[in-house]
């Protein structure tokens, strides 16, 4: 049985936490995040650590307890280190570039596809075939990366498209005559 939900969340230097009824706000060197929490779950600060408590051991409270602990731990990590997702582009002539803050993709359509980053998200293009999505919110970084991947997901015959770095694409054998 896992006990990670009961482990306290260490607070690094420079991180401030404000706990309000049904809301937790975390402020750090990279920014500020705010999250609603369940009414039954309690978050308290003890000895420089955050502890999440539940009222009972019912299944519903256990689920909310684990969710709340994970959300708060991700908020603390986000405002201290941040999150990033890396994407790879594969295909002849497929490439990405930055125009100001905007990401422009050339992925085999008759027109370039443009992405304006939402508030709190930053794009980097270290090479024309690599995209890095950075931000302090794990959920938002993952969502934006998924939207970029959805423009041209990797296809199984030639493997062309946008994929997460290290993602395995199952290849299929083409038609045989």
Gap between the Cα atoms of 121 and 137, Å rounded: 9
Ranges of the chain whose pLDDT falls below 70: 1-5
Q: What is the pLDDT of residue 2?
A: 57
CB 107 within 8 A of CB 151: yes
Judged by DSSP in three states, 63 sits in helix
Task: Please tell me the distance from the alpha carbon of residue 106 to that of residue 112, in angstroms, as a whole number.
Answer: 5
Beta strands at 23-28 and 16-20: parallel, antiparallel or unpaired: antiparallel
Q: Which domains does the chain have, with CATH numbers?
A: 4-80 (3.90.930.12), 83-164 (3.90.930.12)
pLDDT number for residue 1 = 47
- Specify the DSSP class assigned to residue 1: -
Which residues are registered as beta bridge partners of 121? 135
**Mean pLDDT of the chain, nearest integer:** 92
What pLDDT shows up at residue 175? 84
SS3 annotation, 111-145: CCEEECCCCCEEEECCCCCEEEEEECCHHHHHHHH
* pLDDT at site 176: 81
The structure's pTM equals 0.89
């Amino acid at each position: 049985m896992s006990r990670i939900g009961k482990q306290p969340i260490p607070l690094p230097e420079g991180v401030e936490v404000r706990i309000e009824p049904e809301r937790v706000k975390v402020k750090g060197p990279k920014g500020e995040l705010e999250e609603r929490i369940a009414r039954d779950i309690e978050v308290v600060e003890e000895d420089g650590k955050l502890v999440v408590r539940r009222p009972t051991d019912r299944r519903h409270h256990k689920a909310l307890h684990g969710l709340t602990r994970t959300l708060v731990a991700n908020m603390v990590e986000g405002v201290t280190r941040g999150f990033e997702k890396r994407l790879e582009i594969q295909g002849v002539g497929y490439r990405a570039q930055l125009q100001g803050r905007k990401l422009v993709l050339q992925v085999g359509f008759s027109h370039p596809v443009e992405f304006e980053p939402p508030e709190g998200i930053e794009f980097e293009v270290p090479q024309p075939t690599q995209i890095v999505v950075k931000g302090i919110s794990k959920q938002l970084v993952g969502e934006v990366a998924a939207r970029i991947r959805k423009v041209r997901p990797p296809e199984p015959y030639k493997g062309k498209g946008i994929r997460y770095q290290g993602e395995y694409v199952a290849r299929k054998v083409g038609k045989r005559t």
